[in-house]
Copies of this chain bind each other. A is one copy, B any other.
């Protein structure tokens, strides 16, 4: 039985709404007034500005925020807060910084034991997966490994976009990119549309937001899930990376 308490957002904003506005009620349930949060801004270039934006939005909900980049010991900060919120931006830059600050195992241990709640948006949601391998981001810097926090046994593709049937672009659709991922890895992928989120409480996993999500698995048709769907079965899967489906060896 797991003690993990997690909120994983596809994005921190949806079109026409302010930062975290679309998920306000869920954030309030996840982080009651008075909660203290360590914010990780490393996915964007300007840490102070990003932390300010987050602190302002959270303050309105009675939540206090400290930028993890402002303290001498991130580990000590994590011991003194209720939750970590890993913000979005570029996931390669984020993961590189997490390794440079030796935080992968530190965060994982605290979240799996239930001592620290985990909130992510976009790249921060991607970090909760076993690997960043389903990110949409440009690999602008090289992290030492693609392995991430591994707090769930499946992958999430944030900002999931359905194929546009009118498109004349020859580059891969998101669906085709995920199909390529499944050629190399036997790991479930949740395509989480903007406005959707996953809420994990221990061994229970629920889909939130009105836009739904799509589940991709090797040798299966994609399956559509709607708001409130019980996705707890995903927490029992065993991911198998680098297990080429067919054809010739890489």
Contacts and interface: CB of A to CB of B under 8 A. Distances in A.
A248 interface: yes
A16 B169 CA distance: 10
Nearest to A135: B139
Interface string A136-163: 1111111001100000000000010100
Total copies of the chain: 2
Given A45-B183, A159-B169, A169-B194, A250 B139 contact: no
A244 B142 CA distance: 13
B177 A137 contact: yes
Contact of A14 (B13, B100, B170): B170
Contacts of A180: 45, 89-90, 93, 137-138, 140
Contacts of A141: 133, 184-185, 242, 250
Given A90-B180, A93-B180, A140 B133 contact: yes
A69 B248 contact: yes
Contacts of A185: 140-141
Interface in A1-40: 11, 13-16
A249 B146 CA distance: 21
Contact of A250 (B16, B100, B146, B177): B100
Nearest to A182: B140
Interface residues of A, number: 53
Contacts of A89: 180
Nearest to A181: B140
Given A135-B139, A159-B171, A47 B248 contact: yes
Nearest to A91: B139
Interface in A77-108: 89-90, 93, 96-97, 100
A135 B133 contact: no
A178 to B, nearest CB: 7
Contact of A47 (B45, B93, B135, B247): B247
B136 A135 contact: no
Given A15-B169, A133-B138, A133-B142, 8 more contacts: A15-B168, A16-B168, A45-B244, A45-B246, A93-B184, A139-B146, A140-B181, A141-B250
